[in-house]
Chain A
Amino acid sequence: MHSAPIIQLGGLNIDLSAVFMLLVSMIVVFVLCRLAVRNLSVENPSKLQNFMEWVVEFVQGIVGSAMDLKKGKPYISLGLTLILFIFVSNLLGLPFAIMTETHHPVSIFGQEIVTTSQVALDKLAAEGKDPHIELLWWKSPTADINITFGLAIIVFVLMNYLGLKHNRKHYLKHYVEPYWFFLPLNIIENLAKPIALAIRLFANIFAGEVLISTIIKAGVFGVPFLAAWQGFSIFIGALQAFIFTILTMVYIAQTTIHEEY
């Protein structure tokens, strides 16, 4: 089992690899988008601009399938950021992973890494295991359940906020439908949405990375499987980004739009 390099700073547990990978994802997405809009042209778009416009139209399609595109216009930027950020994050862990192995406490920037503390090493030794800890530095940020939960919390807050803002009466009413005693069920349903979002994304990407590290242990014989699985993982990454985005749009549509029957 790989551990995260966590340092304590001002009473906060800071996961360096998570922060680092989040930064990498942000930079990759931002640079990609900036390159795409570098020489914007109405009549003669560059290849990258064409690609970006295709992505925009794709997201417009997603938003349009969940709600009326006129009402969904403000969410296109959100959907674009979601799909690009999650897709890039999913792919980051595919080509390689960086990990360090340590048998003694390590410190970085003058701070001790909590997960490799003497206490943790002693605990492993006490359990009769080899007292060493592997620190995972480069991975998909979405292979960390905390990150995916963060994204899901954004969606959760956003959908409930938008529901309260644009559709208050029907949004509140839906909690006691069809009968008042369905209230707990409806609350659970509402809470289950972000949890399902977070766990689905995390589990898919994490499982992919676990399988990659497992195949790597097979050595030379694993190369064809590794190639096949990495190809499939690209597909999974795209699919999960798409699912996350479309579910976000569907949830927003559910809470904000009251359709007259």
Chain B
Amino acid sequence: MSLVWENMVFSIIAFLILYLLLRKYAFGPLFDVMEKRRALVQQQMDEAANSRTQAQTFVEEQKQALATARKEAYDIIEQARQTSARQADDILSGAKEESVRLKEEAARDIESEKNKAVAALRNEVSSMSVAIASKILEKQVDEKEQEQLVGQYLKEVGDKQ
């Protein structure tokens, strides 16, 4: 093995040519593509992070909306319950008043009917007793004496009772 300087020169030239060719036709495009892919991955990761934060915000918003809706529903139910309770009370008290009123009316009616009946009876009794007395006594009695007499009898009857 001997040193041949021409070979060294050839190998240097060969290597330099190969280096320039590869850099221009192979590595340049390859590096570009790798760089593009790196950028793409970076971009996708950024997007993923973005959408995750967005999703988190949405979830938070949804939670809040849900909580609001739940509260509103509760309020509505509560309100309905109160309304219904109030209405029930109203109906109940109305019914009570009505019944009381009806009872009182009925009592009043009964009272007045009774009075009427009593008055009618009294008239009847007085006229009948006049007839009876006139028949029995067959004697003329004037109106004033008769009334006095009937009153006296009735009083006696009332006292006996």
Interface residues of A (CB under 8 A from B): 4, 6, 12-15, 18-19, 22-23, 25-26, 29-30, 33-34, 36-37, 40-43, 45, 49, 52-53, 56, 76-78, 80-81, 84-85, 141, 144-151, 153-154, 206
Given contacts A6-B4, A81-B19, A150-B15, contact A43 B30 (CB under 8 A): no
Given contact pairs A13-B6, A56-B30, A30 touches B16 in the complex (Cβ within 8 A): no
Residues of chain B touching chain A, judged by Cβ–Cβ distance below 8 Å, are 1, 3-12, 14-19, 21-23, 25-27, 29-34, 36-37, 40
Q: Are B30 and A36 in contact (CB under 8 A)?
A: yes
Specify which of A26, A40, A153, A206 is in contact with B8 (CB 8 Å cutoff).
A153
Q: Give chain B residues whose Cβ lies under 8 Å from the Cβ of A154.
A: 12, 15-16
- The smallest C-beta distance from B16 to any residue of chain A, in angstroms, reads 7
What residues on A are CB-neighbors of B21 within 8 Å? 30
The smallest beta-carbon distance between A12 and chain B, in angstroms, is 5
Q: How far is the CA of A198 from the CA of B73 in the complex (A)?
A: 86
> Which of A42, A144, A146 touches B36 (beta carbons < 8 Å)?
A42
Assess the B7–A144 pair: CB atoms within 8 A: yes
- Closest Cβ–Cβ distance, residue B84 to chain A (whole Å): 65
**Cβ-closest 4 pairs across A and B:** A150-B11, A146-B7, A33-B26, A150-B8
On chain B, the residues within 8 Å of A84 by CB distance are: 22
Query: Count the A-B residue pairs with Cβ separation under 8 angstroms: how many?
Result: 119
Q: Is the CB of B6 within 8 A of A15?
A: yes
Q: Across the two chains, which residue of chain B brings its CB closest to A147?
A: B11
Residue among A4, A14, A146, A147 having the largest count of chain B Cβ atoms under 10 Å: A146
Contact present for B27 and A77 (CB under 8 Å)? yes
Q: Which chain B residues border A4 with CB–CB below 8 Å? A: 4
Question: 13 new A-B pairs (CB below 8 Å) besides A14-B10, A18-B4, A30-B26?
Answer: A18-B7, A22-B14, A33-B26, A40-B30, A56-B30, A81-B18, A84-B22, A144-B7, A145-B3, A147-B8, A147-B11, A150-B7, A150-B15
Q: Which A residues are CB-close (under 8 A) to B18?
A: 26, 29-30, 81, 85
16 pairs, A vs B, C-beta closer than 8 Å: A15-B6, A18-B11, A30-B21, A30-B25, A37-B26, A37-B30, A45-B33, A52-B30, A53-B34, A141-B11, A146-B6, A150-B14, A151-B15, A153-B8, A153-B12, A206-B1
**A143: min CB distance to chain B, Å:** 10
CA–CA, A85 and B15, complex, Å: 8
CB distance from A43 to the nearest CB of B (A): 7
Least distance between A183 CB and chain B CB atoms (Å): 27
B22's partner among A15, A29, A45, A153 (CB-CB below 8 A) is A29
In the complex where A26-B14, A154-B16 touch, is A40 in contact with B9 (Cβ < 8 A)? no
**C-alpha gap A149/B6 in the complex (Å):** 11
**B11 proximity list for chain A (CB < 8 A):** 18, 22, 141, 146-151
CA distance A45 to B33 in the complex (A): 10
What is the CB-to-nearest-CB distance from B8 to chain A, in angstroms, rounded to a whole number? 4
User: How far is it, in angstroms, between the C-alpha of A19 and the C-alpha of B4 when the chains are bound?
Assistant: 12
Docked CA distance A246–B9 (Å): 23
Chain A residues with CB under 8 Å of B36's CB are 42
Residues of chain A within 8 A of B25, CB atoms compared = 30, 33-34, 37
Q: Which of B6, B7, B22, B34 contacts A81 (CB 8 A)?
A: B22
- List residues of chain B with CB within 8 A of the CB of A145: 1, 3
Among candidates B4, B19, B26, B30, residue contacting A13 with C-beta atoms closer than 8 Å? B4
A90 to B3, CA, bound (A): 20
List chain B residues, Cβ under 8 A from A150.
Answer: 7-12, 14-15
How many Å from the CB of B38 to the closest CB on chain A?
Answer: 10
Give the distance in Å from the alpha carbon of A141 to the alpha carbon of B15 in the complex: 12
